[in-house]
Structure 1
Amino acid sequence: MEKEAPNLPVEVISYILHFLSMSDRKDASLVSKAWYTASLDQSLQRNVFYHLQGTSESLELISCLRRRQSLCVALSNFDGSPTSTMVIQNIARHLAPYLKSLLLRDSNITESSFVDLVPLCRSLWGLDLSCCNSLFKPGTLMANAEIKARTTEALIDLQELNLSNLRYLSDLTFNRLTDCKPKLRKLALAGCPIIFELDPYRGLKACNSTCTLSLNNILCFIDRQAATLKWLDFSHTSITSEAVQLVVQVPGLQLEGLALRHCKDLTDGAVCAICSCQPRLTSLDLTGCGELTDKSVLAVANLQFLERLFLGKVRLVTDRGLKNLSAIPTLQVLDLSECYQVSGLELVNGLALPYATPTLLSLNFSCCTMVKDSCVFSMGVILRDILQELDLTSCVYITDFSISVIVNYLTGLTVLRLSWCKEITDRGLLGMSVANDNCQLDEKDEKAEIITESDLKPSKERDGASLRALIYLKELCLTACTKLTDTSITKEIRFQELKTLSLNMVREITDESVVSIAEHCRSLEGLSLSHCDQLTDQGMITAANYMKRLTNLEISCCDKITSQALEVLMQECQWLRSLDVSMCSGLTTRDIERLQLAHPRLTSVKAKYLEEQTSSSLLE
């Protein structure tokens, strides 16, 4: 007779749970009361957000959350209705003392609800008020002296404040929110209509306009907060190069992160000033700053502590500017998406230099149409066993040879995106085309030789590793890889840890592929199969028996899918929350309405361009 497993202490179970993904923790917490108690450990709740809506269903959930001592809560769909007010009152009564982070982003929360809740949240370190325009439009937020005093006292330990996309944010309301924030580290003002070029106060320090937000007022705040402020976000604003220089030159300011996404007026001079005045930056986001050139990239190469660099859509950047990035000893994330003049060869040339110590964990070449097999090969050899995320979306010249390089060298990948790489075939995924003899290195620390296109011509027909060699893969995107069929999909997409899979527009796959994927990828949470028009009810029904963790499913333009398959999916996939069935001719709006009424947990449904009802229902 087998002995029963001994009862483990809660502390030991909590330690075990640290090694599991979020989905695994959910399942593990249902094993027993002891495992459930262990799952409530504060260290396991740090990155967990609970979404509450202004509906009666949230009232029961709030009472269940009372046992959690460290909470991050996001509120949505709130208004001035009695139900929303009751939900806010319950949150204030039961959860407010334990809240660590509160997201009110685009929640339509009213001013009265705000002042009922926030002054009671005395442990907050993060507050997100982005897009809460209804809250700021009257201009009376925290105008009452007593309410302001209580709110300021409650937010004394606030470290992160997000005020992005607030059309009605003014100097006066900004000052009310930021008064006495001695520990604030992060401030986001992305998308706010800030006045950068004019000085409405003519040099005066008293900035209290009720209708505009000015650079002068923000500079005064940064000057007061310089000792602790480490991260700023001015993305999607009209910030000028002169304004950027004023910000980075504030005495005592030592930024670690700066986001300037889609700031169209930014110039090379501003980036040079940033790199000169803020040498300790670890994250710099210049996505969409279209006026920048190689001069900016050369300046960024002097940031010796930089870990994350985003240069997406900086289309004047060329290969010449990228070579020196290898001089940054700490660079882990590099985004070069939509940099059309980049082939990647100079970047890997720099990484191959004797003094370079590659540390890249994530590399994004999305829409870099000049990237070819030669770049992928050199990159694979140099970054072998290091790179974890690789995005080659729309690199249209990538072939099966690159797939062979990836599966033979980049075996530590957790994210691989190959959408619109239409030259990829079953042979690549099956490992029937591998690199030539020059690819093999006896020693992993040996410096790679840079390979050109002409070096790739020797035979590539020797059997080698297949896609299944990427055992750590959690996200795989093969959208529009139109040459793939059931032959490779059924044999190679077998990953125990895979969370997200996209096979949109892979039109040759059938029910056989879907069933195989479901059976061999039991951790799957997101599955996209749009425009896979050979899929039928039978395949989806069989697959549903295996996809117990599925939360998001896209099957738009799959004309053979009917309401019968959807009903089984909802019964078997208890976690399903998001469904896209747009343009499915086998479904009607009446089918979707019935589905939503029967399954209220399905919170997001896209059902565009469906027929009102079928001809058969008309006859009835």
Structure 2
Amino acid sequence: MDDCEGEDMIETPELPLEIIVYILSFLHASDRKEASLVCRRWYSASQDLRFQKDVTFCFPASSSALELIRALGRKSRCSLIISQLDGFSVSRSLLLEVGLCLGSKLESLALPGSSITEASLLALLPRLTSLRRLDLRGLDSLFMSGAFLSREEQRQQVRSALSGLEELDLSDLRYLSDLTFNRLTGCTPRLRRLSLGGCHIAFEFDPYRGCPVGAVEDSSALLSLRNLRRLLMEQKSTLVALDLSRTSITPESLRTVAQVQDLVLEELCLHGCKELTDYSVEVLVKHQPDLQRLDISACTELTNRIFQFSLSPSFLGILCHELDLTSCVNVTDLSVRSIATYLQKLVVLRLGWCKEVTDWGLLGMVETTKCDLDHETGDKGPRFTRTFGNMGFFKPPRLPFDERPKLVTQRDLEQFKQQDGASLLALSRLAGA
């Protein structure tokens, strides 16, 4: 009995921290998180720098955040999301500490829900010499006066620091103008990704001057298509991703963007651009055949036509990996057939709220022998856009209770598994397929 008690008293020697780190390196991030709860020593090992690549620290502005920023100064690199910054002393001190402790280590900075002053940001930016991503979405306080980066001395300092910036998010800025846009993007000459989602871009007409936007000079009140095109031409060698979602871009304006010479886009987001038509998407995929991700969700004017004519093997079907059609209410089963025929390299396909797509369409069991819309696209007289509304020219839509939907049986599913051709089975690369 005494011998047994003596054996229980023997202490297991502690593993060196380097060994624990080595063991943790074989674990998935979620398992490593669980292992960090074993004891203080295992927690310390889990905080090794090799496990902290691409880590983003998110916190609101407060006096307690100052110590966190000072602690982050010991890391080789990091990313920050600081919310609720304002023009008061705590926020100014916080941004000053970011510049002092993390200036050469910060790779990404986002300031959501903030109302900082121009002076605070312009004191910080020249210190961020390693910044790769800058998120200024919704920061109207910076652009309201129109004086942001108005001094050449300021622009030179910011340009020196942000010459390597790759991603710039300017979404939801109500007061972005030609002047402020040119000043800022003039400091970021090697952009790869630009987001202007929700910005008030005037694509056609300047109501303040009574003439086409940008026809005379850079506007101090609006961001124009001319200036956007100028940026695309200047940075076409690096720019691969563009977000124009929730803007009033017209089919003619999209054609102007798509036809910028030598511009090769890999990603384009047009979510909620309600003016776009089938023709505009046809032109887009013709001039930008290297698109790998296309988001045309909530573009309610799009119909089956784009999948009959646009998505042909010579265009988007070669490279497209991600297609978002969420809330495209006119997309039907025939669209799914065409997608399955031409876009067999898709990894992601989103069809949420496509109310005309049925189980039969997903199974590729549409009653047609080829991917055409001849029976739907014949000349049936003039077509009216949503602008004119329903003035009695249209046949009333079928009500949900007019006919009972045909249920998919087990026999139908077996037939689906055995068939070849235009069904979701052809999209073998879909995530989770």
Q: Normalization by structure 1: what TM-score? A: 0.55
Residue 119 (str. 1) matches residue 126 (str. 2):
yes
Distance in 2, matches of 1:133 and 1:107, equals: 9
Distance in 2, matches of 1:225 and 1:203, equals: 22
Residue 76 (str. 1) matches residue 83 (str. 2):
yes
- Aligned counterpart in structure 1 of residue 298 of structure 2, from 271, 288, 295: 288
Distance in 2, matches of 1:169 and 1:241, equals: 23
**CA-atom RMSD, angstroms?**
3.1
Distance in 2, matches of 1:377 and 1:40, equals: 54
Distance in 2, matches of 1:228 and 1:190, equals: 20
Aligned to 1:173, what secondary structure does the other structure show?
helix
Q: CA deviation at 1:348?
A: 3.1
Residue 212 (str. 1) matches residue 222 (str. 2):
yes
Q: CA deviation at 1:92?
A: 1.3
Distance in 2, matches of 1:94 and 1:28, equals: 27
Q: Which residue of 1 aligns with 2:375?
A: none
Distance in 1, matches of 2:65 and 2:324, equals: 39
Aligned to 1:92, what secondary structure does the other structure show?
helix
Q: Which residue of 2 aligns with 1:449?
A: 418
- Aligned counterpart in structure 1 of residue 234 of structure 2, from 224, 232, 238: 224
- Aligned counterpart in structure 1 of residue 255 of structure 2, from 204, 226, 245: 245
Q: CA deviation at 1:221?
A: 0.5
Whether the aligned pair in 2 keeps the contact of 1:323 and 1:348 (CA below 8 Å) is no
One-letter amino acid matched to 1:113: S
- Aligned counterpart in structure 2 of residue 186 of structure 1, from 185, 190, 193: 193
Q: Which residue of 1 aligns with 2:7?
A: none
Matches within 5 A, 1:133-172: 133-172=140-179
Q: Which residue of 1 aligns with 2:25?
A: 15
Q: CA deviation at 1:39?
A: 3.0
One-letter amino acid matched to 2:360: L
Distance in 1, matches of 2:32 and 2:408, equals: 37
Distance in 1, matches of 2:410 and 2:350, equals: 16
Matches within 5 A, 1:26-41: 28=36, 31-32=39-40, 36=44, 39-41=47-49
Distance in 2, matches of 1:377 and 1:39, equals: 53
Q: CA deviation at 1:151?
A: 0.8
Distance in 2, matches of 1:27 and 1:311, equals: 41
Q: Provide the aligned length of Structure 1 versus Structure 2.
A: 366
Q: 1:67 to 1:239 in 2, by over 3 A?
A: same
Q: Which residue of 1 aligns with 2:311?
A: 300
Whether the aligned pair in 2 keeps the contact of 1:120 and 1:154 (CA below 8 Å) is yes
Consecutive unaligned residues of structure 1, counting only runs of 5 or more, are 352-368, 379-437, 440-446, 452-472, 474-620
Matches within 5 A, 1:316-395: 316-326=330-340, 327-349=342-364, 378=413
CA deviation map 1:478-501 (0-9, x unaligned): xxxxxxxxxxxxxxxxxxxxxxxx
- Aligned counterpart in structure 2 of residue 50 of structure 1, from 52, 57, 70: 57
Whether the aligned pair in 2 keeps the contact of 1:284 and 1:308 (CA below 8 Å) is yes
Q: 1:220 to 1:110 in 2, by over 3 A?
A: same
Distance in 1, matches of 2:38 and 2:53, equals: 16
Report percent identity of matched pairs.
33
CA deviation map 1:289-339 (0-9, x unaligned): 010001123323542211111101111111012112123232011111111
One-letter amino acid matched to 2:196: L
Q: 1:340 to 1:162 in 2, by over 3 A?
A: same
Aligned to 2:205, what secondary structure does the other structure show?
coil
Whether the aligned pair in 1 keeps the contact of 2:213 and 2:225 (CA below 8 Å) is no
Distance in 1, matches of 2:173 and 2:152, equals: 23
Whether the aligned pair in 2 keeps the contact of 1:325 and 1:347 (CA below 8 Å) is no
One-letter amino acid matched to 1:260: L
Q: 1:374 to 1:177 in 2, by over 3 A?
A: farther
Q: CA deviation at 1:143?
A: 1.3
Distance in 1, matches of 2:406 and 2:280, equals: 29
Q: CA deviation at 1:96?
A: 2.2
Aligned to 1:309, what secondary structure does the other structure show?
strand
Distance in 2, matches of 1:238 and 1:371, equals: 40
Q: 1:231 to 1:106 in 2, by over 3 A?
A: same
Q: 1:203 to 1:142 in 2, by over 3 A?
A: closer
CA deviation map 1:124-150 (0-9, x unaligned): 110000000111111111112211111
Aligned to 1:149, what secondary structure does the other structure show?
helix
Q: CA deviation at 1:53?
A: 2.2
Higher RCO (CA-CA < 8 Å; seq separation 6+) = 2
Distance in 2, matches of 1:258 and 1:322, equals: 21
Consecutive unaligned residues of structure 2, counting only runs of 5 or more, are 1-9, 367-403, 421-431
Q: CA deviation at 1:122?
A: 0.6
CA deviation map 1:372-407 (0-9, x unaligned): 6559984xxxxxxxxxxxxxxxxxxxxxxxxxxxxx
Distance in 1, matches of 2:321 and 2:111, equals: 30
Aligned to 2:268, what secondary structure does the other structure show?
strand
Distance in 2, matches of 1:215 and 1:173, equals: 14
Q: Which residue of 2 aligns with 1:529?
A: none
CA deviation map 1:49-104 (0-9, x unaligned): 21232211211211222222221101111111111111111111112221111001
Whether the aligned pair in 2 keeps the contact of 1:305 and 1:330 (CA below 8 Å) is yes
Q: 1:343 to 1:143 in 2, by over 3 A?
A: same
Distance in 2, matches of 1:10 and 1:146, equals: 51
Aligned to 2:87, what secondary structure does the other structure show?
coil
One-letter amino acid matched to 2:67: E
Distance in 2, matches of 1:170 and 1:125, equals: 24
Q: CA deviation at 1:119?
A: 1.3
Distance in 2, matches of 1:374 and 1:318, equals: 21
- Aligned counterpart in structure 1 of residue 93 of structure 2, from 77, 86, 89: 86
Q: Normalization by structure 2: what TM-score? A: 0.77
CA deviation map 1:543-591 (0-9, x unaligned): xxxxxxxxxxxxxxxxxxxxxxxxxxxxxxxxxxxxxxxxxxxxxxxxx
Distance in 2, matches of 1:76 and 1:183, equals: 27
Q: 1:149 to 1:11 in 2, by over 3 A?
A: farther
Distance in 1, matches of 2:353 and 2:305, equals: 18
Distance in 2, matches of 1:221 and 1:107, equals: 27
Distance in 1, matches of 2:38 and 2:103, equals: 26
Q: CA deviation at 1:449?
A: 2.6
Q: CA deviation at 1:109?
A: 1.7
Q: 1:2 to 1:371 in 2, by over 3 A?
A: farther
Distance in 1, matches of 2:406 and 2:135, equals: 39
Whether the aligned pair in 1 keeps the contact of 2:56 and 2:81 (CA below 8 Å) is yes
Q: 1:323 to 1:116 in 2, by over 3 A?
A: same
Q: 1:10 to 1:370 in 2, by over 3 A?
A: farther
Distance in 2, matches of 1:29 and 1:91, equals: 30
